[in-house]
Amino acid sequence: MKRLLTILILSISMVVYSQDMKKPIIDIHLHGYSSIPPNVKASWAGETYAQELTSPQNTEMHLQMVIEEMKKNNIKLGVISSTSVEALTKWKTTAPESFLSGIQTDELGQPILSPDSLKILFEKGEVDILGELGLQYFGLEPDVPMMAPYYKIAEENGIPVCLHTGLGPPGGPHSFAPKFRTTLGKPTLFEPILVKHPNLKAFLAHAGYPYIEETIAMMYIYPKLYADIGVLTWALPVEAFYSTLKHLMDAGFGRRIMFGSDQMMWPGAITIAVKTVEEAPFLSESEKRDILYNNAARFLELDPELISSHHK
Ligand SMILES: [Zn+2]
């Protein structure tokens, strides 16, 4: 009898534990590609992770590996952005319930759709986000004139905007992004846009790291502004990420920080990113839930039915 009782208690605790493990996650910052260079190591992710992270052989494998990583971590929804409309269509048709899509910029730094096309495709549900806007990579400030009609349409139609801020891959200006400038990633450069568009729904990708004081200033003054922690979870020394996240939490933004892996070519970064947040010693369980799911669900204004289906 006693043995039976022990087994019963053990199985109940296992059920509770597995339910706990099954809490849903939203990854607000993913990327999809129309082509991918194989076997590239994430050399800038620090020695430990660079060894683990290698790009897959092709885009199909990349997509499948991201889906596997999402399943493994119970990521119910991922916001995928791309420089290719075809890639976005492919991701969304492969797993329609798992992805929202965002448009990035072309080789000149312009969004890959015109403002009118963005509006039409948003209404059709084929595009969900303006961004990630990597204007900084092209030597452009966020309020460059060509972007004005985009912000206007985004505000009028409730299209969320994701602005790249802060850091980029080390060595970028001397290799793939000659026009990239660190100072163009300062979060306060976004201020003229938020002044002009008080109802714009926007978030700062990478939380403006390392310009965290500017992120705090902006999030304090503009209460609708959110931030994601994309790439910081796996490309920074963990102490640097934790002190940054703690700083933002201490400043009172625990309900506006969103989980994003920014996996880029390396699907394996998703698991590292989730683990890093889960293991943050200063976060309570409810703070983790907010960062990993609730804040993004609120920001994206997800349907309550969809939210409850994610928790089943
Ligand atoms: Zn990104």
For residue 82, report the distance from its CA to the centre of ligand 1, in Å.
Answer: 9
Longest dimension (CA), the chain: 76
Q: What is the model's pTM? A: 0.92
- The full set of domain ranges for the chain reads 24-310
At residue 234, what is the residue type? W
For residue 236, report the distance from its CA to the centre of ligand 1, in Å.
Answer: 15
For residue 139, report the distance from its CA to the centre of ligand 1, in Å.
Answer: 17
Q: What is the predicted pLDDT for the residue at 44?
A: 75
For residue 217, report the distance from its CA to the centre of ligand 1, in Å.
Answer: 22
Q: Which of 27, 52, 24 is nearest to 235 (CA)?
A: 52
For residue 134, report the distance from its CA to the centre of ligand 1, in Å.
Answer: 8
For residue 206, report the distance from its CA to the centre of ligand 1, in Å.
Answer: 8
For residue 29, report the distance from its CA to the centre of ligand 1, in Å.
Answer: 6
Regarding the domain delimited by 24-310, which CATH topology (the fold level of the hierarchy) does it fall under? TIM Barrel (3.20.20)
Q: What is the predicted pLDDT for the residue at 19?
A: 44
For residue 16, report the distance from its CA to the centre of ligand 1, in Å.
Answer: 35
For residue 166, report the distance from its CA to the centre of ligand 1, in Å.
Answer: 11
For residue 260, report the distance from its CA to the centre of ligand 1, in Å.
Answer: 9
For residue 262, report the distance from its CA to the centre of ligand 1, in Å.
Answer: 5
Question: In b/e form, how buried is each residue of 55-88, taking b as 16+ CB within 10 angstroms?
Answer: bbeebeebbebbbebbeebebbbbbbbbbbbebb
For residue 130, report the distance from its CA to the centre of ligand 1, in Å.
Answer: 13
pLDDT tens for the chain, 312 residues long, are 445 444 444 444 444 444 445 799 999 999 999 999 999 988 777 766 777 899 999 999 999 999 999 999 999 999 999 999 999 999 999 999 999 999 999 989 999 999 999 999 999 999 999 999 999 999 999 999 999 999 999 999 999 999 999 999 888 999 999 999 999 999 999 999 999 999 999 999 999 999 999 999 999 999 999 999 999 999 999 999 999 999 999 999 999 999 999 999 999 999 999 999 999 999 999 999 999 999 999 999 999 999 999 999
Output the CA angle 70-75-76, nearest 5 degrees. 115
Q: What is the predicted pLDDT for the residue at 22?
A: 75
Q: Is 166 buried (19+), middle (13-18) or exposed (0-12) by CB count in 10 A?
A: buried
For residue 230, report the distance from its CA to the centre of ligand 1, in Å.
Answer: 7
For residue 7, report the distance from its CA to the centre of ligand 1, in Å.
Answer: 47
Output the CA angle 271-99-25, nearest 5 degrees. 40
Phi and psi angles of residue 25, each rounded to the nearest 5 degrees, phi first: -130, 145
